[in-house]
């Protein structure tokens, strides 16, 4: 129940940040803008193994949860209240906001008043097949993300024989690669303007790197290839919200991002946690469970290639 409440409260975060970024940054800067705010989540993943493993070993996992939860609130709430603004001063009202979005492969722009209703908003959103392609791609990417994040410590420990006490440095190296990759891929996406294609290529290489990693017995090579995998996967992470912010008009940004994030986490997150575990439970083979993540990554690459062909960006 507590985990459900945590998910519901966190569900507010991503849609609202997407709306704020779409108001503050022009289209050609949004991969970098999204990469920078995602940097906070990724830095947490990179730093937490160093802190959490020590806290769990010394004080137990319950105390670790309490420390992380309270410290997060003490830092986040004052910063949000003091510094976060919904829109810049020059941002126009919604009734006269310039719509700049993709419809049938073309950029439409109008300064006419915007008259919408909740029903018409959802009707337009449901009928936009490009949006559902990014939802499918996001679900497959979340499958890979949860498969890696959820199973990597167990995989290192049970499949490759790395002691739990020694997991800090391998996990930190892998997650730092994700931090660096997200920043670089944000720059690449904005520079090339081919965000869907960039995400597709990244997902394809991710699958290859994970598969190669499963064949490694040397710890350093194992960590290297997993680090390469999450570096390449960050190509999708850095582009996903920029694609949605280009695809949807301003008045659908919050609902569209929320729907995308909710469905992708629900299907991809549950699948990424359940499928590898079910395979391991049935076969006893952790490598085979990780190969399911490879399949998800390649399917995500295929979906994003189709989307890139449709959108031309």
Which residue in 166, 179, 155 sits closest to 294, CA to CA? Answer: 155
The pLDDT score that the predictor gives to residue 54 is 84
Provide mean pLDDT across the span 204-218: 94
Provide mean pLDDT across the span 258-277: 89
pLDDT category of residue 110 using cuts at 50, 70 and 90: very low
pLDDT category of residue 123 using cuts at 50, 70 and 90: low
Which of 166-170, 186-190, 248-252, 267-271 has the least mean pLDDT? 166-170
Listed in sequence order, the DSSP H helices in 85-194 are 118-126, 129-154, 168-192
Dist CA 20 CA 204 (whole Å): 31
Angle at 292 between CA 289 and CA 293, to 5 degrees: 105
Whole-number average pLDDT of the chain: 84
Output b/e per residue, 8-44; b: 16+ Cβ within 10 A. eeeeeebbbbbbbbbbebebeebbbbbbeebbeebee
Q: Is 50 exceeded by the pLDDT of residue 97?
A: no
Residues in the chain: 313
Output b/e per residue, 231-249; b: 16+ Cβ within 10 A. bbbbbbbbbbbbbbbbbbb
- Identify whether the C-beta of residue 189 lies closer than 8 Å to the C-beta of residue 308: no
- Identify whether the C-beta of residue 271 lies closer than 8 Å to the C-beta of residue 148: no
Burial of 230: CB neighbours in 10 Å, binned 0-12, 13-18, 19+:
buried
pTM equals 0.81
Q: Which domains does the chain have, with CATH numbers?
A: 2-89+127-311 (1.20.1250.20)
Element (H, E) at 102: strand 99-103
Q: Comparing 9 with 293, which gets the higher pLDDT?
A: 293
pLDDT category of residue 105 using cuts at 50, 70 and 90: very low
The pLDDT score that the predictor gives to residue 118 is 53
Q: Is 90 exceeded by the pLDDT of residue 46?
A: no
The pLDDT score that the predictor gives to residue 11 is 81
Burial of 193: CB neighbours in 10 Å, binned 0-12, 13-18, 19+:
middle
């Amino acid at each position: 129940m507590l985990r459900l409440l945590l998910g519901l409260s966190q569900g507010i975060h991503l849609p609202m940040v997407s709306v704020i970024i779409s108001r503050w940054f022009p289209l050609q800067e949004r991969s970098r803008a999204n990469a920078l705010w995602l940097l906070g989540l990724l830095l947490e993943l990179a730093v937490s193994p160093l802190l959490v493993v020590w806290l769990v070993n010394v004080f137990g996992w319950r105390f670790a949860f309490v420390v992380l939860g309270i410290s997060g609130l003490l830092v986040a709430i004052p910063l949000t209240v003091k510094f976060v603004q919904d829109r810049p001063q020059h941002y126009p009202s919604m009734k006269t906001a310039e719509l700049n979005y993709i419809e049938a492969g073309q950029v439409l722009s109008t300064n006419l008043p915007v008259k919408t209703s909740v029903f018409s908003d959802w009707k337009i959103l449901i009928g936009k097949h490009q949006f559902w392609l990014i939802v499918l791609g996001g679900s497959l990417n979340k499958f890979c993300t949860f498969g890696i994040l959820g199973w990597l410590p167990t995989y290192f420990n049970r499949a490759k024989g790395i002691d739990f006490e020694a997991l800090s440095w391998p996990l930190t190296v892998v997650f730092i690669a994700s931090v660096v990759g997200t920043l670089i891929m944000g720059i690449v996406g904005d520079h090339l303007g081919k965000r869907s294609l960039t995400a597709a290529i990244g997902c394809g290489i991710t699958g290859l790197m994970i598969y190669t990693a499963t064949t490694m017995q040397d710890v350093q090579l194992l960590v290297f290839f997993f680090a390469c995998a999450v570096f390449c996967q960050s190509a999708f992470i850095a582009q996903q919200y920029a694609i949605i912010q280009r695809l949807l008009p301003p008045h659908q940004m919050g609902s569209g991002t929320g729907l995308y994030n909710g469905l992708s986490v629900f299907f991809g997150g549950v699948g990424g946690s359940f499928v590898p575990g079910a395979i391991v439970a049935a076969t006893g083979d952790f490598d085979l469970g990780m190969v399911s993540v490879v399949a998800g990554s390649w399917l995500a690459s295929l979906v994003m290639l189709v989307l890139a062909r449709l959108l031309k960006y």
